[in-house]
């Protein structure tokens, strides 16, 4: 009986942090603003009633602005993985040839999912290794490699090119406009499918201008919501392709959703309270303006990277031109287990950092600097990291805390953090 009671107590305990706010500094799920939590706490309404129709039309219009598109955006009650699947099954047929560019663990997982769906995937990547890590996991998409491969595909067997915009596992943000130019230069009809799950609403992303056919995203990163909503932003070419795509689909099908969305409704039960939160989050982001949001993330990122440079530790992304504004990967010296360092920081200083994933597990940790954050949150995060690194015996060249403070103090935000009364 005592064991059962202890188990029940453990299962019901969801807040393990007795004082203060936990520092959730993983690159998603990101901290949820209080005003979004309050919006989500409102009573659920009838998803077939008139109030819901008004809510639906609002969030559908708002999310188009976030994606910077004039075309439909599908909103699913699912994770980003579901949106990966939706993008593929709505545009492709069994056995279709898909070109996947590997920049990290999430590109790897998307390829795995595509293979399980019965697609013929071909992976390309920057060749070689760098510091014992695949070179492609330290760099962005090399658009010239895509162009070369597509030019060689004279029979147009390749039906789609799949790339990750912001690779959450490595801290690399690829140039999507360059990928579109590469496809066009090859005069190839392949669709362009882009995962911007961690990029949307934090890094500049332009669905229409960059000629993306399907953009995939989720709620738990820059949109500052809990996990549970995912998106497909569409192009007219993608919608046309969906009419002849033969991969099985029912729940993920675009056609019924496009039609019912015209009046603000969904063909199945939507996650109403998350849509309340989405409405509030969009008000916050669009109220500030996308350019201000993007500039804030770039500034935060540069401050964190100043700290890592001061420590004398390598940044996972080896190309400064594609540094992520969302997260920074910190590589550990040979023989140091990054997960052991993370464990110390969590247990001693109540701060969660992102683990290394896949081929770089144990080699690095990830600091998230996105969403509902501010200068002092990131200064404190760096302080927790610095204390943890010292406790783990990692020799540091200098003070990252001083470096990040100096950077933020000497580079004031373009838009004040709080308007004067």
Cα separation, 405 vs 417, whole angstroms: 16
Closest CA to 369 of 204, 230, 203: 203
Give the residue from 237, 255, 287 where a domain finishes: 287
The chain-wide mean pLDDT, for the chain, equals 95
Q: How many residues are recorded in the chain?
A: 421
Cα separation, 100 vs 77, whole angstroms: 26
Give the residue from 231, 257, 287 where a domain finishes: 287
Q: Which two tokens stand for residue 132?
A: 């014992």
Query: How far does Cα 166 stand from its chain's mean position?
Result: 6
pLDDT in tens, 11-46: 556 677 778 889 999 999 999 999 999 999 999 999
Q: Tell me what pLDDT residue 1 has.
A: 46
Q: Tell me what pLDDT residue 5 has.
A: 47
Quote the Cα angle for 306-311-314, to 5°. Answer: 80
Extended beta strands in 201-316, E state: 214-218, 230-234
- Same domain flag for 280 and 293: no
User: What values do phi and psi take at 134, rounded to 5?
Assistant: -50, 130
What percentage of the chain reaches a pLDDT higher than 90?
A: 92
- Same domain flag for 212 and 63: yes
pLDDT for residue 217 is more than 70? yes
CATH number at residue 75: 3.40.640.10
- In a domain? residue 196: yes
- Same domain flag for 232 and 257: yes
Residues spanned by the domain of 295: 16-32+289-410
Maximum alpha-carbon separation in the chain = 70
Q: Tell me what pLDDT residue 3 has.
A: 45
Helix or strand holding residue 409 (H, E): helix 400-410
């Amino acid at each position: 009986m005592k064991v059962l009671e202890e188990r029940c107590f453990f299962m019901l305990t969801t807040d393990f942090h007795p004082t203060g706010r936990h520092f959730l500094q993983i690159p998603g799920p990101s901290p949820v603003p209080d005003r979004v939590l309050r919006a989500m706490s409102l009573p659920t309404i009838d998803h077939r009633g008139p109030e819901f129709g008004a809510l639906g039309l609002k969030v559908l219009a708002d999310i188009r602005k976030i994606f910077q598109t004039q075309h439909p955006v599908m909103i699913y009650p699912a994770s980003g993985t579901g949106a990966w699947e939706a993008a593929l099954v709505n545009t492709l047929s069994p056995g279709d040839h898909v070109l996947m560019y590997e920049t990290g663990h999430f590109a790897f997982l998307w390829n795995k999912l595509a293979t399980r769906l019965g697609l013929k995937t071909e992976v390309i990547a920057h060749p070689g290794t760098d510091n014992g890590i695949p070179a492609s996991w330290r760099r962005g998409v090399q658009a010239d490699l895509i162009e070369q491969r597509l030019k060689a595909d004279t029979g147009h067997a390749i039906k789609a090119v799949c790339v990750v915009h912001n690779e959450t596992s490595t801290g690399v943000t690829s140039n999507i406009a360059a990928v579109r130019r590469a496809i066009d230069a090859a005069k190839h009809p392949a669709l362009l499918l882009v995962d911007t799950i961690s990029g949307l609403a934090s890094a500049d992303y332009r669905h229409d201008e960059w000629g993306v056919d399907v953009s995939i995203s989720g709620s738990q990163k820059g949109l500052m919501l809990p996990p549970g909503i995912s998106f497909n932003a569409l192009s007219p070419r993608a919608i046309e392709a969906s009419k002849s795509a033969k991969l099985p689909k029912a729940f993920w099908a675009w056609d019924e959703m496009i039609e019912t969305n015209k009046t603000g409704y969904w063909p199945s039960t939507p996650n109403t309270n998350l849509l309340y939160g989405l409405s509030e989050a969009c008000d916050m982001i669009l109220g500030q303006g996308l350019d201000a949001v993007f500039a804030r993330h770039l500034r935060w990122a540069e401050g964190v990277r100043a700290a890592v440079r001061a420590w004398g530790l390598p940044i996972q992304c080896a190309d400064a031109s594609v540094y992520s504004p969302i997260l920074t990967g910190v590589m550990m010296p040979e023989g140091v287990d990054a997960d052991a360092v993370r464990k110390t920081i969590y247990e001693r200083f109540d701060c969660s950092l992102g683990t290394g994933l896949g081929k770089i597990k144990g080699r690095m940790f990830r600091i998230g600097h996105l969403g509902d954050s501010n200068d002092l949150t990131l200064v404190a995060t760096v302080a927790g990291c610095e204390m943890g690194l010292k406790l783990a015996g990692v020799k540091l060249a200098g003070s990252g805390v001083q470096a990040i403070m100096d950077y933020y103090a000497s580079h004031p935000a373009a838009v004040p953090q709080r308007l004067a009364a």
